[in-house]
A and B are shown apart, each in its own frame.
Chain A
């Protein structure tokens, strides 16, 4: 089993603050995906990172894939209440078939 550990599990911040969520593993993944899940819905993909060292930006969200393709981070700048949700990282195995999810980070942004 390829394990993915996310930290922190919970984060409560004020609007306008910055935050970083981490996703770590001892295993190498062929790609890593970040999802966001809202209550009562399934997770929805935010981004996929594939190359070691890759950095992707999605408006105020910056995603980074570690050089060794074992870890990733999500940084949110100037968080807004609309960013509230559960953030999940998922690693794709080298065979590409199995998707393993981290435990998730529940983010609450207070106005």
Chain B
């Protein structure tokens, strides 16, 4: 069974904390994505990576950074968490143009 695994299902952090969201895929996919999902706004792309150490900004990269040191792992970093970053975060991976496989999501609450 193919898998995309996100490190936490639920996370509560304080304003100003540095937050790491980890994502691992076991399908040797080139592409990995981080989205946030908010009611009424659908999935908005934060960053994506098409190769190790390569990254591209998505639609809403402000306040976030990413790291892809190994092909299977894509980390999303909130440098200084703020309450408006409370959201559901979804990681996905795919080969070029093909089906995207998603993790189960991390529901982050910033208080």
Contacts and interface: CB of A to CB of B under 8 A. Distances in A.
Contacts of A102: 42
Contacts of B98: 48
Number of chain A interface residues as a range: 20 to 34
Contacts of A88: 42-43
A80 B98 CA distance: 29
Q: How large is the interface on B (under 10, 10 to 19, 20 to 34, 35 or more residues)?
A: 20 to 34
Interface stretch (A36-44, A53-61, A70-78): A36-44
Nearest to B105: A42
A101 B42 contact: yes
B92 A99 contact: yes
Q: Which 4 A-B pairs have the closest CB atoms?
A: A42-B102, A103-B42, A96-B97, A101-B43
Interface of B: 4, 31, 33, 35, 40-45, 48, 50, 56, 58-59, 90, 92, 94, 96-105
